[in-house]
Amino acid sequence: MKITVKMPRVAETVDEVVIAEWECAVGDEVAEGDVLVRVETDKAVVEVPSPVRGRVVELLVKPDDEVVTGAAIAVIDGF
């Protein structure tokens, strides 16, 4: 089953982040809790974990893209 990963809220007052670096690539297998991507806020770099176990089938944003909370960032085919 394909799962669309959405950008979680990383801090109470932060609604926008910048994609810093993907820690996975299309085709990679990830476990629930593995770091998918690092994002930058005004004050910190935050790791975003995978919500499910599966295989990454699509990365919907690229480094330096600005992303809002709730936006789709990746698709994982869950196991």
Q: pLDDT at position 43, please? A: 87
- 43, burial (CB in 10 Å: exposed 0-12, middle 13-18, buried 19+): exposed
Residue 11: pLDDT band with limits 50, 70, 90: confident
Residue with tokens 């690229």: 62
Q: pLDDT at position 13, please? A: 82
pLDDT in tens, 12-55: 888 899 999 999 999 999 999 999 999 999 889 999 999 999 99
Structure tokens at 60: 């919907």
Please give the C-alpha separations between residue 43 and each of 17, 47, 49, in angstroms, as whole numbers: 10, 13, 19
Annotation: CATH topology of 2-78: OB fold (Dihydrolipoamide Acetyltransferase, E2P) (2.40.50)
Q: pLDDT at position 12, please? A: 84
Structure tokens at 16: 């926008």
Q: Where are the domains of the chain?
A: 2-78
Q: Give the pLDDT mean for 62-77.
A: 97
Cα Rg of the chain (Å, integer): 12
